[in-house]
Amino acid sequence: MWMFMAPSLRIRFPEIVFRASKDGYNLLSLYASVKEFVDTYHYCILILLTAEDEKLGVFLDVIPDQGKNDRYIGACDTFIF
C-alpha cells in the first residue's frame, strides 16, 4: 500500500489515534478522536476487519470530519485497498 501513495505522503510516519476495540464502535467517536487533525496536513488510513477476518482499507487524503453536509469530499490521492 505504501508504494501506491504519492511520494509527498510517504515522508510522514503513521500513528494510531483511534482503535474501535479501545475507543468504541461509534463513528462519532472516530470523528472526535481525529478532530484535532482536521484542516491540517495529515491523512487517514482506515483498516476494517470483518468477523470472517477479511480486511478492507481506505486511504483518505484528508481527515474525516462530520462537517456541515455529512458527506466526505476527497481528492485524487484517495483510494481503497
Domain boundaries, the chain: 1-8+40-81
Confidence of residue 79 (pLDDT cuts 50, 70, 90): confident
Considering the entire predicted model, what is its pTM? Answer: 0.72
Q: Which three cell numbers stand for residue 30?
A: 472516530
Our measurement of the distance from residue 20's CA atom to the centroid of its chain's CA atoms, rounded to an integer in Å, reads 13
What pLDDT does residue 1 have? 66
**pLDDT of amino acid 22:** 92
pLDDT tens-digit map of 23-73: 999 988 988 898 888 888 888 888 999 889 999 998 888 888 777 566 666
CA distance linking residue 40 with residue 19, whole number of Å: 21
